[in-house]
Chain A
């Protein structure tokens, strides 16, 4: 089980709190699910699952409040199905009619070091060995290859990433410790039709957020 370390930096980030997701307020620190998404954007196959171990905060936590125009409606599934059956239809969503202004309290100038490993799932085929995926990930991460641009919480906040050798001395994380309250760990897709959120008690210790294992009892939901 090899642990990889990625350093991600970005201008903005929004790890949206579930309770304030309309007028967005970000968590103070990156969530494990966002960290997982960064790794998955570099390499993901149905045979593997990423587990985040540690998130280190490298820059001071700074906020910015931005107000943006967004949309309040969702394209109706019924309309789409009708259009599919008939061969033609109107699926337009006019921004002028559905405009919603939403303010957001985002993080800015963020940099994190993420540590994660992946596990090979039991239903992986015979050709899929651990070594194969390890090689693939290392190759892609070094070159900067990714399936989609990694992002920090929301897709519009794209980030840069860099594979880092954790054994070499690295700049120290922020010298700050605080209690971050209950943080969203990830969504549990055991029942794919009704995903359930899982939470854990997050503590920032000298700039390091230690993420418990998914199956541990610290992760509640």
Chain B
């Protein structure tokens, strides 16, 4: 399914103009230096291709013949490679090998492009055959190139593009990419007959994998082969399908791609069956880190989705278009599939909207719904080690998020499943640790509780008809805290700092004491503002009216009830009636 979906995506996208996908037999490769040649093959200089400034210099990408996969043997790329292959210069103390590499480079050129009558190719061949590279080594940029082993290719003086992008060369190469019809078998991705690919090209861009790229389909050790087959024969995939899926995946994972995001240690890519669908733009707004250039991406995505039915824009009607989300995790030279979601765009829009409704909670207009990272950061401690894969960066700080939590929450949202237990537990734990119920934490708890029970148990703002004991106790705690603040203006450490954990976990022990304290505070308030004191008493009385007379304060509250306590506290705190009685 996965390879098939990628294959189809390639087929559709490559037909669209400006797709940026390489045609069969080619790839886009960043080449940092171009060797400039005159028409008769004389060396005329080295041009760097870096764009950007300072530390962010990135080499420009060119369309080059697809690179060969090599691990330890000598296998040359066509028209581009590192200095060892292009010049035969040896940087590692193995002159024999360097010579072999250079020979391979020249051979590849001769065999594939001998028939090509192009000025650029003639110049390159003349230059290489002459074999005199002293002028190259004398160039001031040479030491840098040699040390970095940077890729090089050639450009004719006066041409804007490198030799490999010249039209005649492109045509020759596309033509010679023909198939040989022997040894064809069924391709299990496309179902057509095709030559089985032995080694699949690498997929680059998966966070944490080898820098030279890793493979999803690989059989690199004996234990992984079955039925006496070796390498690609273990899973017959045809060359065309292999090229399609690896090119599509590399394109989605490329640096600067707008269709990838990081969820924990899984590099996630997402695409729609029809390329360019609106959902592809909106998706990162819900789950990804806010783009540094576009910090409002998250909020605008959310509002677009919510307003879609009303404005008619957004085309999220049920036309059966599929949306795919693929999470890839690294394992040295291989890539593991961490998760794979397939949903129609309409279903996805409905499920994301459900999630947005779940996490909607009152905030006096100050806060808005955040992308997923905001919630994960709110329930995680600050991180001491920024390099770990599960660290999330949010508003200037780094947080240690539990490893699988991001992926699990994403799965719950996309598939409309209950949220992971660790989400609720994490929120409550962080509240206890910091004695503070913030907007994201309250939102998470409300979302989790409502999804577990299947109905809207906790509403968006204060619900005076909610008779749940834990909810009422949370409200009561907020009012008692307010009473203490009004009795002692300017106080910094309230009952929240001292009694929060006990009040939410074992209310039976603590609430009688708190009520007693509050009576003393009320007496103090009554001396200056008797009306306010009476109103506060009425408020307290109203809250306590729903507590059971035989057991008003339970001995302890289970975790979910503690969540209700936290949300009740938050609702009451955000409600103006706590601060100003009606009529004042």
Whether chain B is bound by chain A comes out as yes
Q: Is the CB of B186 within 8 A of A221?
A: yes
User: CA A67 – CA B337 in complex, angstroms?
Assistant: 11
Q: Is the CB of A103 within 8 A of B331?
A: yes
Query: At the interface, yes or no: B219 with Cβ under 8 Å from chain A?
Result: yes
Partner of A21, one of B3, B221, B222, B226: B226
What is the total of A-B residue contacts with beta carbons within 8 Å? 98
* Count of chain B residues near A, Cβ 8 A: 36
Given contacts A65-B339, A102-B331, contact A20 B221 (CB under 8 A): no
Query: At the interface, yes or no: A25 with Cβ under 8 Å from chain B?
Result: yes
Of B337, B339, B407, most A-chain CB atoms within 10 Å: B337
Q: Is the CB of A19 within 8 A of B188?
A: yes
CB contacts (< 8 Å) of B336 on chain A: these are: 23, 65, 67, 102-105
Among residues 78 to 128 in chain A, which have CB atoms less than 8 Å away from a CB atom of chain B?
98, 100-105
Query: At the interface, yes or no: A181 with Cβ under 8 Å from chain B?
Result: yes
CB contacts (< 8 Å) of B224 on chain A: these are: 21-22, 72
Q: Is the CB of B221 within 8 A of A19?
A: no
Query: At the interface, yes or no: A156 with Cβ under 8 Å from chain B?
Result: no
CB contacts (< 8 Å) of A184 on chain B: these are: 188
Q: Is the CB of B186 within 8 A of A101?
A: no
Q: Is the CB of B191 within 8 A of A103?
A: no
Q: Is the CB of B3 within 8 A of A23?
A: no
User: CA A21 – CA B217 in complex, angstroms?
Assistant: 8
Q: Is the CB of A180 within 8 A of B1?
A: yes
Q: Is the CB of B329 within 8 A of A19?
A: no
Cβ distance B274 to chain A, nearest Cβ, rounded Å = 17
Cβ distance A66 to chain B, nearest Cβ, rounded Å = 10
Among residues 51 to 79 in chain A, which have CB atoms less than 8 Å away from a CB atom of chain B?
63, 65, 67, 70-74
Among residues 220 to 241 in chain B, which have CB atoms less than 8 Å away from a CB atom of chain A?
220-224, 226-228, 234-237
Q: Is the CB of B340 within 8 A of A63?
A: yes
Instruction: Please name the residue on chain B nearest to A199 by beta carbon.
Output: B188
Of B222, B223, B339, most A-chain CB atoms within 10 Å: B223
Q: Is the CB of A22 within 8 A of B334?
A: yes
User: CA A22 – CA B4 in complex, angstroms?
Assistant: 18
Q: Is the CB of B188 within 8 A of A182?
A: yes
Contact string against A for B residues 360-398, beta-carbon threshold 8 Å, 1 for contact and 0 otherwise: 000000000000000000000000000000000000000
Q: Is the CB of A18 within 8 A of B227?
A: no
Cβ distance A177 to chain B, nearest Cβ, rounded Å = 12
Cβ distance A34 to chain B, nearest Cβ, rounded Å = 15
User: CA A187 – CA B228 in complex, angstroms?
Assistant: 13
Cβ distance B427 to chain A, nearest Cβ, rounded Å = 23
Query: At the interface, yes or no: B442 with Cβ under 8 Å from chain A?
Result: no
Query: At the interface, yes or no: B250 with Cβ under 8 Å from chain A?
Result: no
Cβ distance A219 to chain B, nearest Cβ, rounded Å = 10
Which one of A40-48, A140-148, A163-171, A189-197 contacts B? A189-197
Among residues 196 to 234 in chain B, which have CB atoms less than 8 Å away from a CB atom of chain A?
216-224, 226-228, 234
CB contacts (< 8 Å) of A18 on chain B: these are: 188, 234-236
Q: Is the CB of A72 within 8 A of B223?
A: yes
Partner of A20, one of B185, B217, B220, B222: B217
Cβ distance A23 to chain B, nearest Cβ, rounded Å = 4
Partner of B234, one of A21, A23, A70: A21
Query: At the interface, yes or no: A7 with Cβ under 8 Å from chain B?
Result: no
Query: At the interface, yes or no: B2 with Cβ under 8 Å from chain A?
Result: yes
Q: Is the CB of B188 within 8 A of A20?
A: no
Majority SS of interface residues in chain A? Answer: strand
Cβ distance B223 to chain A, nearest Cβ, rounded Å = 5
Q: Is the CB of A105 within 8 A of B338?
A: yes
User: CA A199 – CA B187 in complex, angstroms?
Assistant: 9
Q: Is the CB of B216 within 8 A of A181?
A: no
Partner of A100, one of B221, B338, B404: B221
Q: Is the CB of B216 within 8 A of A195?
A: no
Instruction: Please name the residue on chain A nearest to B187 by beta carbon.
Output: A182
User: CA A184 – CA B191 in complex, angstroms?
Assistant: 11
Query: At the interface, yes or no: B22 with Cβ under 8 Å from chain A?
Result: no
Query: At the interface, yes or no: B189 with Cβ under 8 Å from chain A?
Result: yes
Q: Is the CB of B335 within 8 A of A23?
A: yes
Query: At the interface, yes or no: A139 with Cβ under 8 Å from chain B?
Result: no
User: CA A180 – CA B188 in complex, angstroms?
Assistant: 12
Partner of A23, one of B185, B216, B404, B407: B216
CB contacts (< 8 Å) of A104 on chain B: these are: 336
User: CA A197 – CA B227 in complex, angstroms?
Assistant: 10
Q: Is the CB of B227 within 8 A of A74?
A: no
User: CA A103 – CA B219 in complex, angstroms?
Assistant: 14
Instruction: Please name the residue on chain B nearest to A105 by beta carbon.
Output: B337
Q: Is the CB of A28 within 8 A of B221?
A: no
Given contacts A19-B217, A221-B185, contact A103 B222 (CB under 8 A): no
Q: Is the CB of B2 within 8 A of A74?
A: no
Cβ distance A65 to chain B, nearest Cβ, rounded Å = 5
Instruction: Please name the residue on chain B nearest to A187 by beta carbon.
Output: B227
Among residues 392 to 417 in chain B, which have CB atoms less than 8 Å away from a CB atom of chain A?
404, 407
Contact string against B for A residues 1-34, beta-carbon threshold 8 Å, 1 for contact and 0 otherwise: 0000000000000000111111101001000000
Instruction: Please name the residue on chain A nearest to B232 by beta carbon.
Output: A19
CB contacts (< 8 Å) of B335 on chain A: these are: 23
User: CA A156 – CA B539 in complex, angstroms?
Assistant: 61
User: CA A25 – CA B216 in complex, angstroms?
Assistant: 10
Query: At the interface, yes or no: A220 with Cβ under 8 Å from chain B?
Result: yes
Among residues 60 to 82 in chain B, which have CB atoms less than 8 Å away from a CB atom of chain A?
none
Among residues 166 to 221 in chain A, which have CB atoms less than 8 Å away from a CB atom of chain B?
180-182, 184, 187, 193-195, 197, 199, 201, 220-221
Given contacts A22-B224, A195-B227, contact A201 B234 (CB under 8 A): no
CB contacts (< 8 Å) of A201 on chain B: these are: 191
Cβ distance B216 to chain A, nearest Cβ, rounded Å = 6
User: CA A108 – CA B337 in complex, angstroms?
Assistant: 16
User: CA A20 – CA B191 in complex, angstroms?
Assistant: 17
Cβ distance A74 to chain B, nearest Cβ, rounded Å = 4
User: CA A63 – CA B325 in complex, angstroms?
Assistant: 14
Cβ distance B70 to chain A, nearest Cβ, rounded Å = 20
Partner of B331, one of A23, A25, A73, A181: A23
CB contacts (< 8 Å) of B235 on chain A: these are: 17-21
- 20 CB-based A-B contacts, threshold 8 Å: A18-B188, A19-B189, A19-B235, A20-B217, A21-B224, A22-B218, A22-B224, A22-B334, A23-B336, A28-B1, A65-B404, A74-B222, A100-B221, A100-B223, A101-B331, A102-B336, A103-B337, A105-B336, A105-B337, A199-B188
The 8 A-B residue pairs with the shortest CB-CB distance, nearest first, are A23-B336, A103-B336, A19-B235, A18-B235, A72-B221, A74-B222, A22-B224, A181-B4
A residues with CB within 8 A of B: 17-23, 25, 28, 63, 65, 67, 70-74, 98, 100-105, 180-182, 184, 187, 193-195, 197, 199, 201, 220-221
B residues with CB within 8 A of A: 1-4, 185-186, 188-189, 191, 216-224, 226-228, 234-237, 329, 331, 334-340, 404, 407
Contacts A19-B188, A22-B219, A182-B188 supplied; 19 other A-B pairs, CB < 8 Å: A18-B236, A23-B334, A23-B335, A25-B340, A28-B1, A63-B339, A65-B404, A72-B224, A74-B222, A101-B331, A102-B336, A105-B336, A184-B188, A194-B227, A197-B236, A199-B186, A220-B186, A221-B185, A221-B186
